[in-house]
Structure 1
Protein backbone atom coordinates (compact mmCIF):
# COMPACT_ATOMS: atom_id res chain seq x y z
CA UNK A 1 0.00 0.00 0.00
CA UNK A 2 1.47 3.34 -1.07
CA UNK A 3 1.92 6.07 1.51
CA UNK A 4 2.30 9.76 0.61
CA UNK A 5 4.11 11.76 3.30
CA UNK A 6 6.62 14.52 3.95
CA UNK A 7 10.19 13.54 3.16
CA UNK A 8 12.56 12.73 5.99
CA UNK A 9 16.23 13.69 5.76
CA UNK A 10 16.99 9.94 5.74
CA UNK A 11 14.98 9.66 2.48
CA UNK A 12 17.30 11.99 0.58
CA UNK A 13 19.77 9.43 -0.83
CA UNK A 14 16.82 7.45 -2.24
CA UNK A 15 15.20 10.66 -3.52
CA UNK A 16 18.37 11.71 -5.36
CA UNK A 17 18.78 8.22 -6.82
CA UNK A 18 15.18 8.03 -8.04
CA UNK A 19 15.44 11.52 -9.52
CA UNK A 20 18.53 10.45 -11.44
CA UNK A 21 16.74 7.40 -12.78
CA UNK A 22 13.54 9.32 -13.61
CA UNK A 23 15.37 12.00 -15.62
CA UNK A 24 18.07 9.80 -17.19
CA UNK A 25 18.44 9.94 -20.97
CA UNK A 26 20.98 8.28 -23.22
CA UNK A 27 22.21 11.59 -24.61
CA UNK A 28 21.99 13.67 -21.41
CA UNK A 29 24.48 14.20 -18.61
CA UNK A 30 24.91 11.49 -16.00
CA UNK A 31 23.67 12.20 -13.42
CA UNK A 32 20.96 14.47 -14.88
CA UNK A 33 21.06 18.17 -13.87
CA UNK A 34 17.87 17.65 -11.80
CA UNK A 35 19.88 15.67 -9.22
CA UNK A 36 22.24 18.55 -8.42
CA UNK A 37 19.33 21.01 -8.54
CA UNK A 38 17.41 18.96 -6.01
CA UNK A 39 20.41 18.66 -3.68
CA UNK A 40 20.74 22.46 -3.77
CA UNK A 41 17.00 23.00 -3.23
CA UNK A 42 17.16 20.95 -0.02
CA UNK A 43 19.71 23.46 1.32
CA UNK A 44 18.38 26.78 -0.02
CA UNK A 45 16.32 29.53 1.63
CA UNK A 46 13.34 28.61 -0.55
CA UNK A 47 13.10 25.05 0.84
CA UNK A 48 9.71 24.36 2.42
CA UNK A 49 9.88 21.08 4.41
CA UNK A 50 6.14 20.44 4.26
CA UNK A 51 6.18 20.65 0.46
CA UNK A 52 8.90 18.06 -0.13
CA UNK A 53 6.71 14.99 -0.48
CA UNK A 54 7.50 11.33 -1.11
CA UNK A 55 5.48 8.33 -2.23
CA UNK A 56 6.63 5.20 -0.39
CA UNK A 57 5.66 1.61 -1.14
CA UNK A 58 6.89 -1.36 0.91
CA UNK A 59 9.46 0.90 2.58
CA UNK A 60 10.91 2.09 -0.75
CA UNK A 61 10.74 5.70 -1.97
CA UNK A 62 9.17 5.43 -5.43
CA UNK A 63 8.22 9.06 -6.07
CA UNK A 64 9.08 12.57 -4.92
CA UNK A 65 8.13 16.14 -5.59
CA UNK A 66 9.44 19.37 -4.17
CA UNK A 67 7.80 22.77 -4.20
CA UNK A 68 9.91 25.74 -3.17
CA UNK A 69 9.35 29.41 -2.41
CA UNK A 70 9.35 31.66 -5.42
CA UNK A 71 8.06 35.14 -6.06
CA UNK A 72 5.93 37.00 -8.55
CA UNK A 73 7.33 40.48 -8.21
CA UNK A 74 7.55 40.80 -4.41
CA UNK A 75 4.57 38.52 -3.75
CA UNK A 76 5.21 34.96 -2.54
CA UNK A 77 4.32 32.09 -4.87
CA UNK A 78 5.36 28.46 -5.25
CA UNK A 79 7.49 26.72 -7.87
CA UNK A 80 6.94 22.97 -8.24
CA UNK A 81 9.66 20.66 -9.43
CA UNK A 82 11.35 18.52 -10.04
CA UNK A 83 8.75 15.77 -9.70
CA UNK A 84 10.09 12.22 -10.11
CA UNK A 85 8.71 8.70 -10.16
CA UNK A 86 10.85 5.59 -10.59
CA UNK A 87 10.53 4.49 -14.23
CA UNK A 88 9.10 1.07 -13.31
CA UNK A 89 6.37 2.77 -11.24
CA UNK A 90 5.32 5.42 -13.79
CA UNK A 91 1.78 5.54 -15.23
CA UNK A 92 0.33 4.17 -11.98
CA UNK A 93 -1.06 7.41 -10.51
CA UNK A 94 1.92 8.19 -8.28
CA UNK A 95 2.67 11.53 -9.92
CA UNK A 96 -1.03 12.40 -9.70
CA UNK A 97 -1.06 11.56 -5.97
CA UNK A 98 2.02 13.73 -5.37
CA UNK A 99 0.50 16.65 -7.31
CA UNK A 100 -2.78 16.38 -5.40
CA UNK A 101 -1.04 16.25 -2.01
CA UNK A 102 1.03 19.29 -3.00
CA UNK A 103 -2.12 21.20 -4.03
CA UNK A 104 -3.91 20.36 -0.77
CA UNK A 105 -0.94 21.30 1.40
CA UNK A 106 -0.21 24.54 -0.49
CA UNK A 107 -3.85 25.65 -0.27
CA UNK A 108 -3.82 24.80 3.44
CA UNK A 109 -0.83 27.10 3.87
CA UNK A 110 -2.78 29.95 2.26
CA UNK A 111 -0.65 30.05 -0.89
CA UNK A 112 -2.13 31.70 -3.97
CA UNK A 113 -0.55 29.80 -6.87
CA UNK A 114 1.81 26.99 -7.90
CA UNK A 115 3.80 27.31 -11.13
CA UNK A 116 5.80 24.70 -13.01
CA UNK A 117 7.57 24.04 -16.27
CA UNK A 118 6.22 20.84 -17.77
CA UNK A 119 4.44 18.86 -20.46
CA UNK A 120 1.32 20.53 -21.83
CA UNK A 121 -0.23 17.11 -22.39
CA UNK A 122 0.08 16.05 -18.72
CA UNK A 123 -0.38 18.91 -16.24
CA UNK A 124 -3.63 20.48 -17.56
CA UNK A 125 -5.58 17.43 -16.31
CA UNK A 126 -4.64 18.60 -12.79
CA UNK A 127 -5.89 22.15 -13.35
CA UNK A 128 -2.65 23.72 -14.57
CA UNK A 129 -2.95 26.13 -17.47
CA UNK A 130 -0.59 28.49 -19.28
CA UNK A 131 0.65 30.92 -16.63
CA UNK A 132 0.31 33.78 -19.10
CA UNK A 133 -3.48 33.39 -18.86
CA UNK A 134 -3.16 34.48 -15.22
CA UNK A 135 -0.78 37.35 -15.98
CA UNK A 136 2.28 35.41 -14.77
CA UNK A 137 5.33 35.69 -16.99
CA UNK A 138 7.95 32.93 -17.24
CA UNK A 139 11.55 33.68 -16.26
CA UNK A 140 12.35 32.69 -19.86
CA UNK A 141 9.79 33.86 -22.46
CA UNK A 142 10.76 30.93 -24.74
CA UNK A 143 9.01 28.53 -22.33
CA UNK A 144 5.65 29.67 -23.69
CA UNK A 145 2.73 27.43 -22.73
CA UNK A 146 5.07 24.92 -21.04
CA UNK A 147 5.19 27.38 -18.13
CA UNK A 148 1.95 26.66 -16.31
CA UNK A 149 0.16 27.78 -13.17
CA UNK A 150 -2.46 26.41 -10.82
CA UNK A 151 -4.43 29.06 -8.89
CA UNK A 152 -5.29 27.73 -5.44
CA UNK A 153 -8.33 29.93 -4.84
CA UNK A 154 -7.13 30.93 -1.39
CA UNK A 155 -6.03 34.44 -2.29
CA UNK A 156 -5.65 36.59 -5.39
CA UNK A 157 -2.97 35.44 -7.83
CA UNK A 158 -0.38 38.18 -8.34
CA UNK A 159 0.67 39.19 -11.86
CA UNK A 160 4.22 39.70 -13.05
CA UNK A 161 7.38 37.71 -13.73
CA UNK A 162 7.91 34.56 -11.67
CA UNK A 163 11.25 34.11 -9.91
CA UNK A 164 12.22 30.58 -8.82
CA UNK A 165 14.28 29.70 -5.73
CA UNK A 166 17.96 30.63 -6.18
CA UNK A 167 19.28 27.19 -7.30
CA UNK A 168 17.16 27.36 -10.45
CA UNK A 169 19.10 30.42 -11.64
CA UNK A 170 22.21 28.25 -12.05
CA UNK A 171 20.61 25.80 -14.50
Structure 2
Protein backbone atom coordinates (compact mmCIF):
# COMPACT_ATOMS: atom_id res chain seq x y z
CA UNK A 1 0.00 0.00 0.00
CA UNK A 2 1.50 3.31 -1.13
CA UNK A 3 0.39 6.70 0.19
CA UNK A 4 1.18 9.94 -1.64
CA UNK A 5 1.62 12.94 0.65
CA UNK A 6 3.38 16.27 0.86
CA UNK A 7 7.05 16.00 1.75
CA UNK A 8 7.94 17.13 5.28
CA UNK A 9 11.24 18.35 6.70
CA UNK A 10 11.76 15.00 8.45
CA UNK A 11 11.74 13.32 4.99
CA UNK A 12 14.66 15.29 3.55
CA UNK A 13 17.38 12.76 4.41
CA UNK A 14 15.41 9.80 3.01
CA UNK A 15 14.55 11.80 -0.13
CA UNK A 16 18.23 12.71 -0.62
CA UNK A 17 19.22 9.04 -0.38
CA UNK A 18 16.46 7.72 -2.62
CA UNK A 19 17.15 10.37 -5.27
CA UNK A 20 20.85 9.47 -5.28
CA UNK A 21 19.97 5.76 -5.56
CA UNK A 22 17.38 6.31 -8.29
CA UNK A 23 19.81 8.19 -10.54
CA UNK A 24 22.99 6.26 -9.69
CA UNK A 25 22.80 3.98 -12.76
CA UNK A 26 21.09 6.45 -15.10
CA UNK A 27 23.05 7.02 -18.28
CA UNK A 28 21.66 10.52 -19.00
CA UNK A 29 22.26 11.98 -15.55
CA UNK A 30 24.87 14.24 -14.01
CA UNK A 31 24.22 12.37 -10.72
CA UNK A 32 23.56 15.67 -8.95
CA UNK A 33 19.76 15.41 -8.75
CA UNK A 34 19.79 14.88 -4.97
CA UNK A 35 21.64 18.19 -4.55
CA UNK A 36 19.27 19.93 -6.98
CA UNK A 37 16.28 18.93 -4.82
CA UNK A 38 17.94 20.57 -1.79
CA UNK A 39 18.73 23.76 -3.71
CA UNK A 40 15.22 23.99 -5.10
CA UNK A 41 13.66 23.56 -1.64
CA UNK A 42 15.47 26.76 -0.61
CA UNK A 43 14.53 28.70 -3.75
CA UNK A 44 11.74 31.11 -4.67
CA UNK A 45 10.61 28.54 -7.25
CA UNK A 46 9.73 25.98 -4.54
CA UNK A 47 6.08 25.09 -3.98
CA UNK A 48 5.78 22.97 -0.80
CA UNK A 49 2.46 21.45 -1.91
CA UNK A 50 4.18 20.10 -5.05
CA UNK A 51 7.03 18.29 -3.32
CA UNK A 52 5.44 14.88 -2.86
CA UNK A 53 6.60 11.56 -1.48
CA UNK A 54 5.29 8.04 -1.96
CA UNK A 55 5.42 6.19 1.34
CA UNK A 56 4.81 2.50 1.97
CA UNK A 57 2.94 1.08 4.95
CA UNK A 58 6.23 0.79 6.90
CA UNK A 59 7.03 4.48 6.53
CA UNK A 60 9.70 3.90 3.87
CA UNK A 61 9.80 6.64 1.27
CA UNK A 62 9.73 4.83 -2.05
CA UNK A 63 9.51 7.84 -4.35
CA UNK A 64 9.60 11.61 -4.63
CA UNK A 65 8.49 14.14 -7.21
CA UNK A 66 9.13 17.87 -7.38
CA UNK A 67 7.36 20.50 -9.46
CA UNK A 68 8.84 24.03 -9.34
CA UNK A 69 7.98 27.38 -10.89
CA UNK A 70 9.47 28.25 -14.25
CA UNK A 71 8.73 30.80 -16.95
CA UNK A 72 8.25 30.60 -20.68
CA UNK A 73 9.63 33.83 -22.14
CA UNK A 74 9.80 35.48 -25.52
CA UNK A 75 10.74 38.97 -26.70
CA UNK A 76 7.55 40.56 -25.39
CA UNK A 77 5.91 38.24 -22.85
CA UNK A 78 6.52 35.90 -19.95
CA UNK A 79 4.23 33.05 -18.86
CA UNK A 80 4.16 31.00 -15.66
CA UNK A 81 4.52 27.22 -15.87
CA UNK A 82 5.87 24.33 -13.81
CA UNK A 83 8.91 22.14 -14.29
CA UNK A 84 8.63 18.48 -13.33
CA UNK A 85 12.14 17.68 -12.13
CA UNK A 86 13.23 15.41 -10.72
CA UNK A 87 11.08 12.36 -10.17
CA UNK A 88 12.78 9.55 -8.26
CA UNK A 89 11.73 6.04 -7.30
CA UNK A 90 13.96 3.77 -5.24
CA UNK A 91 15.27 0.96 -7.46
CA UNK A 92 13.52 -1.79 -5.47
CA UNK A 93 10.19 0.01 -5.91
CA UNK A 94 10.52 0.77 -9.65
CA UNK A 95 8.09 -0.64 -12.22
CA UNK A 96 5.25 -0.80 -9.67
CA UNK A 97 3.33 2.31 -10.76
CA UNK A 98 4.70 4.58 -8.02
CA UNK A 99 6.06 7.14 -10.49
CA UNK A 100 2.68 7.27 -12.22
CA UNK A 101 0.88 7.84 -8.92
CA UNK A 102 3.28 10.69 -8.05
CA UNK A 103 2.84 12.30 -11.47
CA UNK A 104 -0.95 12.08 -11.45
CA UNK A 105 -1.27 13.38 -7.90
CA UNK A 106 1.15 16.20 -8.74
CA UNK A 107 -0.93 17.16 -11.77
CA UNK A 108 -4.09 17.17 -9.65
CA UNK A 109 -2.57 19.42 -6.97
CA UNK A 110 -1.03 21.72 -9.60
CA UNK A 111 -4.46 22.18 -11.19
CA UNK A 112 -6.00 22.94 -7.79
CA UNK A 113 -3.29 25.56 -7.21
CA UNK A 114 -4.17 27.22 -10.54
CA UNK A 115 -1.21 26.16 -12.68
CA UNK A 116 -1.94 25.65 -16.36
CA UNK A 117 1.04 23.72 -17.71
CA UNK A 118 4.02 21.50 -16.93
CA UNK A 119 7.31 21.28 -18.84
CA UNK A 120 9.82 18.45 -18.53
CA UNK A 121 12.79 16.77 -20.11
CA UNK A 122 12.28 13.05 -20.02
CA UNK A 123 11.95 9.71 -21.73
CA UNK A 124 9.90 9.94 -24.90
CA UNK A 125 8.25 6.56 -24.31
CA UNK A 126 7.16 7.20 -20.71
CA UNK A 127 5.58 10.64 -20.38
CA UNK A 128 3.17 10.65 -23.36
CA UNK A 129 0.93 8.20 -21.45
CA UNK A 130 0.18 11.12 -19.10
CA UNK A 131 -0.72 13.43 -21.98
CA UNK A 132 2.69 15.04 -22.51
CA UNK A 133 3.48 16.21 -26.04
CA UNK A 134 6.66 17.58 -27.59
CA UNK A 135 7.27 21.20 -26.57
CA UNK A 136 7.94 21.96 -30.24
CA UNK A 137 4.19 21.35 -30.84
CA UNK A 138 3.54 24.44 -28.69
CA UNK A 139 6.38 26.61 -29.98
CA UNK A 140 8.37 26.14 -26.77
CA UNK A 141 12.10 25.51 -26.73
CA UNK A 142 14.89 25.08 -24.19
CA UNK A 143 17.94 27.27 -23.52
CA UNK A 144 20.20 24.31 -24.41
CA UNK A 145 20.23 21.53 -26.98
CA UNK A 146 18.23 18.37 -26.30
CA UNK A 147 16.72 15.83 -28.66
CA UNK A 148 13.33 17.20 -29.71
CA UNK A 149 11.45 14.11 -28.51
CA UNK A 150 12.73 14.56 -24.92
CA UNK A 151 11.34 18.06 -24.34
CA UNK A 152 7.69 17.72 -23.37
CA UNK A 153 4.79 19.78 -22.12
CA UNK A 154 1.36 19.10 -20.66
CA UNK A 155 -1.60 21.43 -20.60
CA UNK A 156 -3.21 21.01 -17.18
CA UNK A 157 -6.21 22.99 -18.39
CA UNK A 158 -7.72 23.36 -21.85
CA UNK A 159 -5.49 25.61 -23.96
CA UNK A 160 -3.06 26.02 -21.04
CA UNK A 161 -0.23 26.66 -23.51
CA UNK A 162 -2.19 28.30 -26.31
CA UNK A 163 -0.17 31.21 -27.72
CA UNK A 164 2.48 30.82 -25.00
CA UNK A 165 5.48 30.45 -27.25
CA UNK A 166 9.01 31.04 -26.06
CA UNK A 167 12.03 29.62 -24.30
CA UNK A 168 11.90 27.88 -20.94
CA UNK A 169 13.57 29.98 -18.24
CA UNK A 170 14.67 27.87 -15.27
CA UNK A 171 15.35 29.18 -11.77
CA UNK A 172 19.09 29.80 -11.11
CA UNK A 173 19.26 26.70 -8.86
CA UNK A 174 19.09 24.51 -11.98
CA UNK A 175 22.48 25.92 -12.99
CA UNK A 176 21.29 26.78 -16.52
CA UNK A 177 22.07 30.20 -17.96
Quickly name the TM-score band, shorter chain normalised.
over 0.9
Instruction: Give the structure 1 partner of residue 120 of structure 2.
Output: 116
Can you give the 5+ residue segments of structure 1 that lack an aligned partner in the other structure? Answer: none
Q: Matched residues in 1 for 2:61 and 2:160: separation?
A: 35
Q: How many residues align?
A: 170
1:5-154 paired onto structure 2 within 5 Å:
5-25=5-25, 32-57=31-56, 58-73=58-73, 74-153=78-157
State whether residues 63 and 86 of structure 1, in contact with CA within 8 Å, keep that contact through their aligned partners in structure 2.
yes
TM-score w.r.t. length of structure 2: 0.89
Mapped to 1, the partners of 2:28 and 2:147 lie a distance apart of 20
**What TM-score results when the alignment is normalised by the length of structure 1?**
0.92
- Residue 112 of structure 1 deviates from its aligned partner by 1.3
**Is the partner of 2:49 in helix, strand or coil?**
helix
The structure with the largest helix share of the pair is: 1
RMSD across aligned positions (CA): 2.0
2:150 and 2:26 map into 1 onto residues whose CA distance is: 23
How far residue 105 of structure 1 moved from its aligned partner, in angstroms, is 0.8
Q: Does the 8 A contact of 1:111 with 1:154 survive in 2?
A: no
Q: Is the 8 A contact 2:67 2:83 kept in 1?
A: yes
Structure 1 residue ranges (4+ consecutive) displaced by more than 3 angstroms after TM superposition: 26-29
C-alpha distance in 2 between matches for 1:10 and 1:170: 29
**Is the partner of 1:25 in helix, strand or coil?**
coil
CA distance in structure 2 between the aligned counterparts of 1:139 and 1:118, rounded to whole angstroms:
16
Structure 1 contact 56–62 (Cα < 8 Å) conserved: yes
CA distance in 2, matches of 1:84, 1:128: 18
Instruction: Report the Cα distance in structure 2 between the residues aligned to 1:96 and 1:37, rounded to whole angstroms.
Output: 22
